Chains A and B, each alone.
Chain A
Amino acid sequence: MTSEEIREVIIDILGDIAPDEELGDLKDEIAFRDQLELDSMDFLDIVMELRKRYRVQVPEEDYGELASMQSTVTYLEPKMQDVEKA
Chain B
Amino acid sequence: MPMDFLKGVSGEYDVTVIGSGLAGMTVANALARSGHRVLLLEQHYKLGGMATWFKRKGGHIFDVSLHGFPVGMIKSCRRYWTREIADSIVQLKHVRFDNPMFSLTTRYHREDFTRLLTEKFGVSQSQVDAFFDAARGMNFYDDQQLTVGEFFDQYFPGRGDIVRLLMEPITYANGSTLEDPAITYGIVFSNFMSKGVYTFEGGTDRLIQLMQKDLIKSGVDVRLRVDVEKIHVEKGRVTGVTANGQFINTRVVVSNANIKNTILNLVGRDNFSSEFVDETEKIRLNNSSTQVYMALKPDEQIDEETGDLLFSSTAPAFQTDLLLSRDITSRTFSFYYPRTRPQGRPRSLVVSSTNARYEDWAELSDEAYEASKQDLIETTLESLDRYVPGIRKKLDHAEAATPRTFQYYTRHALGASFGTKFEGLAVSRGLSSQVNGLFHAGSVGIIMSGWLGAINYGVIVANEVDALLLSKNTAQVG
Q: A and B, one complex?
A: yes
Question: In B18-35, which residues have CB < 8 Å from any A CB?
Answer: 34
Question: Residue of B at shortest CB range from A57?
Answer: B467
Interface size on B, residues (CB 8 A): 18
Q: Do A48 and B463 form a contact, CB below 8 Å, given A57-B471, A60-B141?
A: yes
**Binary A-proximity of B439-464 (CB < 8 A = 1, otherwise 0):** 00000000000000000100110010
Q: Do A44 and B79 form a contact, CB below 8 Å, given A39-B72, A52-B34, A57-B471?
A: no
Is A41's CB under 8 angstroms from B463's CB? no
Question: In A34-49, which residues have CB < 8 Å from any B CB?
Answer: 39-41, 44-45, 47-48
CA distance A31 to B62 in the complex (A): 45
Asked if A51 is an interface residue, CB under 8 A from chain B, the answer is yes
Asked if B191 is an interface residue, CB under 8 A from chain A, the answer is yes
CA distance A47 to B139 in the complex (A): 16
| Chain A contacts for B79, CB-based, 8 A | 45
Q: Is the interface of A mostly helix, strand, loop or mixed?
A: helix
| Chain A contacts for B140, CB-based, 8 A | 40
Question: Residue of A at shortest CB range from B463?
Answer: A48
Interface size on A, residues (CB 8 A): 13
CA distance A45 to B467 in the complex (A): 13
CA distance A51 to B470 in the complex (A): 9
Asked if B161 is an interface residue, CB under 8 A from chain A, the answer is no
CA distance A44 to B460 in the complex (A): 7
| Chain A contacts for B75, CB-based, 8 A | 41
Contact of A47 among B141, B456, B463 (CB under 8 A): B463
Asked if B114 is an interface residue, CB under 8 A from chain A, the answer is no
| Chain A contacts for B312, CB-based, 8 A | none
Which of A45, A47, A48, A63 has the most chain B CB atoms closer than 10 A to its own CB?
Answer: A48
| Chain B contacts for A85, CB-based, 8 A | none
Is B191's CB under 8 angstroms from A55's CB? no
A30 to chain B, nearest CB (A): 15
A-B pairs under 8 A by CB, number: 30
Which of A39, A44, A63 has the most chain B CB atoms closer than 10 A to its own CB?
Answer: A39
Is B466's CB under 8 angstroms from A41's CB? no
Is A63's CB under 8 angstroms from B191's CB? no
| Chain A contacts for B470, CB-based, 8 A | 51, 55, 57
Asked if B16 is an interface residue, CB under 8 A from chain A, the answer is no
| Chain B contacts for A60, CB-based, 8 A | 141
| Chain A contacts for B34, CB-based, 8 A | 52
Question: Residue of A at shortest CB range from B142?
Answer: A40
Q: Do A44 and B139 form a contact, CB below 8 Å, given A39-B72, A39-B190, A55-B470?
A: no
CA distance A39 to B34 in the complex (A): 23
A53 to chain B, nearest CB (A): 12
A31 to chain B, nearest CB (A): 11
| Chain B contacts for A40, CB-based, 8 A | 139-141
Question: Residue of B at shortest CB range from A61?
Answer: B141
Question: In B344-368, which residues have CB < 8 Å from any A CB?
Answer: none
CA distance A40 to B466 in the complex (A): 19
B445 to chain A, nearest CB (A): 14
Is B456's CB under 8 angstroms from A41's CB? yes
Question: Residue of B at shortest CB range from A59?
Answer: B467
**Binary A-proximity of B134-174 (CB < 8 A = 1, otherwise 0):** 00000111000000000000000000000000000000000
A58 to chain B, nearest CB (A): 9
Q: Do A51 and B141 form a contact, CB below 8 Å, given A39-B191, A41-B459, A44-B459?
A: no
Asked if B118 is an interface residue, CB under 8 A from chain A, the answer is no
| Chain B contacts for A44, CB-based, 8 A | 459-460, 463
Is A51's CB under 8 angstroms from B459's CB? no
User: What are 19 of the A-B contact pairs (CB < 8 Å)?
Assistant: A39-B72, A39-B191, A40-B139, A40-B140, A40-B141, A41-B72, A41-B76, A41-B456, A41-B459, A44-B459, A44-B460, A44-B463, A47-B463, A48-B463, A48-B466, A51-B463, A52-B34, A57-B467, A57-B471
Given contacts A39-B72, A41-B459, 6 further A-B contacts (CB under 8 A): A39-B190, A41-B456, A48-B466, A51-B467, A57-B467, A57-B470
Give me the 6 closest cross-chain CB pairs, A-B, nearest first: A40-B139, A48-B463, A40-B140, A41-B456, A57-B467, A44-B463
